[in-house]
Structure 1
Amino acid sequence: LGVGVMTFTSGPAAAYGLPGKNAAELMIDMINARGGIGGVPLKATYVDEAQGTQGVIAEYRRLAEDKGNQVMIAALSSANCLALAPLAEQLQAPTIGWNCDTHQLLLDGKSRYYFRPNGNTIPEFVAYALYLLQRKPDVKRIAIVNPDYAFGHDAALIFKTAMKALKPDVEVVAELFPKLGSANFQTEISKLSASRPDVVFSNLWGADLENFVRQAQPRGLFTSSQVVLALGETVLQRANLPDGVIVGVLGDGWWMSPDARANPVTKAFVEAYEKRFGEYPVFPSVKMANAIIYMKAAYEAALKKTGGKWPSRDELADAMRGSTVKTLTGTTVTRKDNDG
């Protein structure tokens, strides 16, 4: 049983993408050790998103046109997800967006083959505004440093709008959008320091986030301002953050999640992941694992409905629509627009 899996396995974004690939390998091995799905073993083909959107589209088409690959798990980048969504409809290929956080993905409510079992940017970034104001209700001046593409600009707009709605006297003193994949953030750090914000909000991720943290900390940014790192959990095992930084998890996570930590299946996954890879799973790992659990549940539901006959792609997509699936971090309910 083939499945196409798309993530970043090279370049700066691999710091985020490889934990996802690691989780996919582990979950598939665990499923196969228990007999596969319906007695059929899983085999993944991995596509590196670092080749760019056009390359990702070509690889997706190649894999989806092979009927042996009934399901695609794609992708990490919001830009790639937006590019693949119409192709999934055209090729009638059930596709699970394992890390497609942009709220734009399923806005029209017309998708039949693209599914997202995790949350999206609007509730995620509104939550940061709410939590920040609980921690720092007197905030007056905020600055934003986000990557220069849809995910970064969407997050900035959502966070600003939420802050203005909740606390109208808040002033945005800086908005910076460094190029994705930047290695040097000294210019942005200088501008942030000069703007004297009470709060610095960032949804930098991957190696960008690691580089920003390592360069900003010696210059005192983390002590002069309250820093909010929306995707900060991914660097906790690689960089030392000072006390007081608000560290976020985007979507499904195991770290600091009471529901996940109380789940014996999740505990077994975490232990197996740490034993194999020498580090704990970060939230991209958990989101990927949940996507595979979601896929497995769809196969099992479809097989039950067909009386054991191997399901078609349409029967798999039907099984995903409106489904309720218990994952490592809670329960995913698929809405009518295919959003989880």
Structure 2
Amino acid sequence: MTMIRRTVLGALAALPLMGFGPQAAQAADTIVIGEVNSYTRLPAFTEPYKKGWQLAIEQINAAGGIDGKQLEVISRDDTGDPATAIRIAEELVTKEGAVLIFGTFLSNIGLAVADFAQQKQVLFLASEPLSDAIVWSKGNKYTYRLRPSTHMQAAMLAEQAAKLDAVKWATVAPNYAYGQDAVKAFKSELSKLRPDVEFVEEQWPPVFKIDAGSTVRALEASKPDAIFNVTFGGDLAKFVREGSLRFLFEDRAVASLLTGEPEYLHPLGNETPDGWIVTGYPPADIDTDSHNAFAKAYSDKFGEAPKTGSIVGYNSVLAIAAALTKAGSTDTEALLAAMDGLEVADSPTGPFMFRAADHQSTMGAYVGKTALVDGEPKMVDWAYADGAAYLPSEEEAAKLRPAE
């Protein structure tokens, strides 16, 4: 048995293999899964993500599928529009026969599909959106989230930021749910660890429409000791360029959410800032059997190294396969019961589970620093942060959710 086959089967090894019952046995030998994401709006992240889930589907089907049934993903592009995402989700469930939905990237789209899932009573695995509302203030019975949340990753950065001498902090974040959640969580977690810190400036540029010049000038005018940054994609590149030109980052620490992810780090090229504290993913430097097998299979198939999105797509399908296997059925209630406490024993990033109290996965993230190494952007001095260590207790989390 090859290493990659062991990796896929290992993710399901702790679960009992059960039949799908006489009713399901009469159905076709395919389980249809619906997938929705912003492929044309955010290709830098969603294309690697798609390759990740495609690889996992291929491997699981090659290993015999789920109790002999092949998995089929029907994927649609929501174009970055919540209304389109809801219409597509409806079509996937009612016309295509999808037994569940997974995907989405932007928080507003994830929240819209989560609301759809609750209304239509269908399981939704929110693969990528980071807003805490998805599992807390607007959480529902039918929605689970895979990626480490905004709160989790902000807490990881706050832990490192608390070690700095910096007292006065400024923040810059896109003005929508994800950015607002990130700043709130970072301020809360850093203040717990360092009661002496103060926040002297907040900048809220519209997502993908940053006026980098005015943003940088406002931050510089507040004379902070350090900056917490939540911009990403094209906004990040503009912020880094303008901030470097105006010496905003000189002798000033920066903690930056997601910036260590290859999707956002590599485009910075030789403008990559030195020593920013970041969450991200260093694919070339992770040396575990599961990750090595995944990275080799991914590179062999697609001719490139995996990115963060690749991991998210791959782990999404591992989680879905584990839920189907544990449930022994495609019935929604059975799948929901399987998701509570579901364990994925072996993934490229290590084992993780879904908490029953708030439906959040304990999948972690990598925390390190940015650097140019031999002229190439890299994440260095990194360590893996287990997501479970950065979540409130299940009892506390349950109180954050609406009553069902």
1:21-60 Cα distance to aligned partner (Å, 9 max, x none): 2212222222233333333333322233434111111111
The offset of 1:168, in angstroms, is 2.9
CA contact (8 A) 1:189 1:221 kept: yes
Equivalent residue for 1:153? 180
1:55-92 Cα distance to aligned partner (Å, 9 max, x none): 11111111122462112113212222222223212222
Match of 1:291 among 316, 319, 323: 316
CA contact (8 A) 2:123 2:335 kept: yes
Equivalent residue for 1:306? none
Query: Which whole-Å CA distance do the structure 2 matches of 1:237 and 1:289 have between them?
Result: 21
Query: Which whole-Å CA distance do the structure 2 matches of 1:278 and 1:172 have between them?
Result: 45
The offset of 1:108, in angstroms, is 5.9
Q: Does 1:247 align with 2:278?
A: yes
Q: TM-score scaled by structure 1?
A: 0.86
1:202-230 Cα distance to aligned partner (Å, 9 max, x none): 12223322333344333333324212221
Equivalent residue for 2:82? 53
Equivalent residue for 1:332? 352
Higher strand share: 2
Letter in 2 for 1:3: I
Q: Does 1:188 align with 2:215?
A: yes
The offset of 1:239, in angstroms, is 1.8
Letter in 2 for 1:334: F
Letter in 2 for 1:302: A
Distance change (3 Å), C-alpha of 1:170 and 1:73:
same
Identity %: 28
Distance change (3 Å), C-alpha of 1:268 and 1:214:
farther
Letter in 1 for 2:291: T
Letter in 2 for 1:297: A
1:269-305 Cα distance to aligned partner (Å, 9 max, x none): 11232344454323232122111100011112223xx
SS in 2 for 1:42: strand
CA contact (8 A) 1:37 1:296 kept: yes
Distance change (3 Å), C-alpha of 1:47 and 1:206:
farther
Query: Which whole-Å CA distance do the structure 2 matches of 1:25 and 1:314 have between them?
Result: 26
CA contact (8 A) 1:8 1:49 kept: yes
Equivalent residue for 1:170? 197
CA contact (8 A) 1:16 1:205 kept: no
1:4-28 Cα distance to aligned partner (Å, 9 max, x none): 22222123x3322222122122222
The offset of 1:115, in angstroms, is 1.5
Q: Does 1:8 align with 2:29?
A: no
Q: Does 1:273 align with 2:298?
A: yes
Letter in 2 for 1:339: Q
RMSD: 2.4
CA contact (8 A) 1:141 1:197 kept: yes
SS in 2 for 1:238: helix
SS in 2 for 1:236: helix
Q: TM-score scaled by structure 2?
A: 0.73
Q: Does 1:126 align with 2:155?
A: yes
**Where does 1:15-30 land on structure 2 (aligned, <5 Å)?**
15-30=44-59
Q: Which runs of 5+ in 2 are unaligned?
A: 1-30, 362-404
SS in 2 for 1:115: strand
CA contact (8 A) 1:254 1:281 kept: no
Stretch of structure 1 that moved more, 69-78 or 311-320? 311-320
Equivalent residue for 2:121? 92
Match of 2:335 among 290, 309, 316: 316
Equivalent residue for 1:216? 243
Query: Which whole-Å CA distance do the structure 2 matches of 1:256 and 1:124 have between them?
Result: 21
Distance change (3 Å), C-alpha of 1:219 and 1:29:
farther
Please list every run of at least 4 consecutive aligned residues from structure 1 whose deviation after the TM superposition is greater than 6 angstroms: none
The offset of 1:124, in angstroms, is 2.1
SS in 1 for 2:132: coil
Distance change (3 Å), C-alpha of 1:53 and 1:25:
same
Stretch of structure 1 that moved more, 19-28 or 38-47? 38-47
Equivalent residue for 2:66? 37
Letter in 2 for 1:333: M
SS in 2 for 1:322: coil
CA contact (8 A) 2:327 2:335 kept: yes
The offset of 1:2, in angstroms, is 2.1
Equivalent residue for 1:203? 230
Query: Which whole-Å CA distance do the structure 2 matches of 1:213 and 1:46 have between them?
Result: 34
SS in 2 for 1:329: coil
CA contact (8 A) 1:129 1:162 kept: yes
